[in-house]
Structure 1
Amino acid sequence: MQVTLIPSTDKPWDGIEVYSYELAKRLSKRNIKVIGIRVGIKDDVKYVNQNFKLITAGTPNYTKGLGYYYRVFRAITKNYREINSSEIIHAIGGYYSAIEFIPFKGRKIVTIIGASSLREKKKSKRIIRTIYSSLIYKFAKKYIVPNEFIYKEVKEHYHVNNLEIIPLGVDIEGLTVSERKDVLKEKLGFEPDDIVILYLGQLVHGKRLPELLTAFKKVSEKISNAKLVLVAWGYLKDQLMELATSLNIKDRVIFKKPVPYCERKYVYGAADVLTMIGDSFGDGGVSSAVLDGLGSGLPIIVARGSPNILVVKDGFNGFVVNPSNPEEIALAIMKAVENREYLGKNSKYIAKELDWDLIAEKILKVYKEIY
C-alpha cells in the first residue's frame, strides 16, 4: 500500500505537522510506502527513510490572504501523478480543501484535528466558521476526529458522515531520555535541586499566563527553589516580563526560546510539573504539549472545561483548576510538586494507551477497511 500525507515534514512544528510526521514514521516502519507533500521555495526530494519519500514543491512565496492556500493547491497539482499513484490520500485539517475537488484513483481521508468554530464565542463568527468548515470538508471517504468534542461539532454542524474517533498520539519513544533529571536541569542552566514549573506554548491571550504568573508568585513564597520556565514565543512576552517584575519574581521566571521538535524531550525531562491552563484559545483538540507531558511522566495542571481534561484526571495524573483563580492554581501546583512521583507515574500510564504505535495501527485499519 502507498499513502500520501498532506502536509508533511521531517521537522514538525505545529500540531498538524506533528500528527503527519509521527504517522509517517509509524506507517513507513510497517512497510507502507509514504509520500509526503510539503510547500517550499524550491523543488526537492528527500528520503527520510527507505519507505518515506518527502517531496518539497517549490511555489511562489505568497504569505498573505489566500496565498498559502494557493501554494498548497499548486504543490498538489505539481505532484498530481505521484499522488495519484497512492491508494490512500490522507490530508490533515484544512489542507484537505486543496484536494477536495481533485479526482484521484485513491481514497481520500481527512483528519479534522481541530474544529475552528469551537474557538469562537460570538455567535455570528461561529456561524461563519461553521459554514466555512462545512464547505471545505466534503467528499472524503472517511473522517477521523480525535475526541468527542470535535466529533459532536462535526457531526451536528459540518453535515458529514463516516466519522471515527481516533485520539491524537503520544510519542513515548521520542520523549525518552537517558540522563537524570538533575543533569538535564544543569544543562539548561538551572540548579540540580530547582523545582521547574514548565509552560510550553505560545505567549498569547487565552493561555491564562497572567494568572499563571500571579499563582507562581504564591508558589514561590512556599517553595523557595521553584522556577517558572516558559519555553515559548508570542506578543505577550514584554507584558509578562513587566508583570514578573511588578510581582518581584523576575529572577525566578525564565523565558526560553522554543526548541526543535527532536530536542523537546530534554525540556520536559528537566521539568517537575507542566502547566497548561488556557481555556479560550482552543479548537477542541488536546494540547500537543499536554500529550508530550504525559509521555514524559509529568504531573499536569489544566483548565476546567478544556479538552485537556480528556487526558488529565483530577488527582490522578494532575489537577483540573479554575484558570481565573490564582489561589486554586497555586494550590494545585504545590500539590503536584509534593506528589509528582505518583502523579507522573499515572501520566505515563495514560500515555501508554495513546502511544503513537497504537494510534497508527488504528489509522492503518481504517485505510484497509475503505480501500
Structure 2
Amino acid sequence: MLIDAWFPKDETSPGVWGGGQVHVRELRSRLVADYGCQVELFYAAHKNLLIRSLWVLWVVADVLLYSRYHPQIHLLHSHGYYSGLAAKLIGFFLKVPVVHTVHATPALDQAKKSPKLLIEKWLLTKLHYQAEISLSSHFLKYPNVNQRLSVIPNGVNIQAFNQVRVVKYPTTTLIWVGQADPSKGLAVLKAALVKVRRLYPELKTELVTGGRLSGRAIIKAYKKSHLFCLPSLAESQPIALLEAWAAKLPVVVTRVGENQTMVKSGINGLLVDPGNAQQLAKALLQLLRSPRRATAMGLAGYNLVKNHYSWDQVVAQTYAVYLEVLQTSAMAAENKLVFGLNPHEN
C-alpha cells in the first residue's frame, strides 16, 4: 500500500492526520485483523511537495528491493496522486495489478487552468489502473480511461465516539476541521462569522487544522462543540462531515462533492453554495436561532452514519475489488500461457 502524504507511524507522532491518512490507517488495520492480509505500507516522509515528488522515484526502488527479501507481492494499492505513478512503475516491473484510490480532485472540481490541473487530470483519469476507487460519485462525471470504477466512501468509527463522554462548552461553539488549504474555505467561514457575530457576539470557534488533534482529543473537540461547518470550495467525501455527525452535531456544508448526496438540506444539515459568505452566515444563524431544530438535524446525521458509513463496510467493499482484480489478472495470465506467451516477459 502506498500513500504520498506525510504519514506518521502512529497517532502520537507529530504529523498531518487528514482524511487520506485516516482512511489508509483504518483500511490497513482491518485488512490485517479481519481478512488475514499482510499489508506493508510505504509513504512519503514529509508533506513538502518537492519531497513527495522525489519520493515517487525513491519508493519504486524501495519496493523493488523489499520484494527481493519478502513474500510475493500480489497487489499494489495506491492512494492520492503521485503514488499512482509509483505504483504503475512498480506494477510494471513486478507484473502485479494496481488499484488506485482517488481521495480528492480539487483542481478538477474548480477547473482553474494550472499545472496542478494538468497533473491531477493525468494521474487520476489518464493513467490506466486495473481498478480505480473514488470516495465520491461526482468523480464519475469526468472522462476516464479507467473502466473499472467503484465508489467506496469513507467511514467513521461510531463506537469510538459513543465511548467518549464530555460536557459541552459553556458558550455556543462552532467547530471547523480541515487542512490549511484554501480549498477548505476557511477564509469564507471567517467572512461569514463577521456577519454572524453582529447578532451573536458570544459565538466561539474551534478551528482544528493540520492534524492538531487526533484520536480521543479530536472526538472530545467535536462533542464539546455545538455545530459544525465545512465551507469547502472543492471536496470529495469529507471524513470531517462523518465525524461531526458521529458527534450528533448539526452541520452546514457547501454543495460540493458527495456533500450534495449525503446532506438533505433542512433534515440532517444545511447546504450552501461554495464561496458565498452571505449564504453561509444565513445558514449558521438559522441553526443558532433554532436549537431544537439543530439538535434534530444532528441526530438525523448520526443515524445516517451509524447505519451506512462504517469502516467495516468500506473494507469489505475494498476487499471485494481486490478479489475481482486478482481473479481477472489470473485469467489474463492463463490466456497468455494458452497462446504461448510467458506472462513474466514483456
Report the TM-score, using the length of structure 1 for normalisation.
0.73
Which segment is superposed worse, 158-167 or 96-105?
Answer: 96-105
Q: State the shift of 1:224 in Å.
A: 5.2
* 1:292 maps onto 2:243 in alignment: yes
Q: Distance in 2 between matches of 1:69 and 1:360?
A: 26
Alignment correspondent of 1:276: 230
Alignment correspondent of 1:251: none
Q: State the shift of 1:6 in Å.
A: 1.9
Q: Distance in 2 between matches of 1:77 and 1:143?
A: 23
Alignment correspondent of 2:2: 6
Q: After the TM superposition, which residues 289-368 of structure 1 pair with which residues of structure 2 at under 5 Å, given as runs?
A: 289-337=240-288, 338=291, 339-352=293-306, 353-368=308-323
Residue 204 of structure 2 aligns to a residue whose secondary structure is: strand
Q: State the shift of 1:198 in Å.
A: 0.7
How many residues are treated as equivalent by the alignment? Answer: 309
Going from structure 1 to structure 2, the CA distance change for 1:13 and 1:71 (only over 3 Å counts) comes to farther
CA contact (8 A) 2:32 2:39 kept: no
- The answer for unaligned runs of 5 or more in structure 1 is 42-58, 186-192, 234-256
Identity of aligned residues (%): 21
Q: Write the letter of the residue equivalent to 2:138.
A: F
Q: CA deviation digits over 1:148-205, x for unaligned, max 9?
A: 211222xx1x3111111111222323333431333xx3xxxxxxx2111011123443
Going from structure 1 to structure 2, the CA distance change for 1:121 and 1:174 (only over 3 Å counts) comes to same
Q: Write the letter of the residue equivalent to 2:162.
A: T
Report the TM-score, using the length of structure 2 for normalisation.
0.78
- The answer for unaligned runs of 5 or more in structure 2 is 327-346
Alignment correspondent of 2:136: 147
Residue 25 of structure 1 aligns to a residue whose secondary structure is: helix
Q: 2:121 aligns with which of 130, 145, 149?
A: 130
CA contact (8 A) 1:177 1:266 kept: no
CA contact (8 A) 1:147 1:285 kept: yes
Q: Distance in 2 between matches of 1:178 and 1:113?
A: 28
Q: Distance in 1 between matches of 2:192 and 2:105?
A: 31
Alignment correspondent of 1:237: none
Q: Write the letter of the residue equivalent to 2:267.
A: F
Structure 1 or 2: more helix by fraction: 2
Q: Distance in 2 between matches of 1:166 and 1:325?
A: 29
Q: State the shift of 1:97 in Å.
A: 1.5
Going from structure 1 to structure 2, the CA distance change for 1:226 and 1:90 (only over 3 Å counts) comes to same
Alignment correspondent of 2:39: 35
Q: CA deviation digits over 1:33-91, x for unaligned, max 9?
A: 232323477xxxxxxxxxxxxxxxxx9x9954732222322332231246762433222
Structure 1 or 2: more strand by fraction: 1
CA contact (8 A) 1:198 1:231 kept: yes
Going from structure 1 to structure 2, the CA distance change for 1:181 and 1:78 (only over 3 Å counts) comes to farther
The root-mean-square deviation of aligned C-alpha atoms, in Å, is 3.0
Q: 1:109 aligns with which of 89, 99, 102?
A: 99
CA contact (8 A) 1:10 1:21 kept: no
Alignment correspondent of 2:27: 23
Residue 184 of structure 2 aligns to a residue whose secondary structure is: coil
Residue 150 of structure 2 aligns to a residue whose secondary structure is: strand
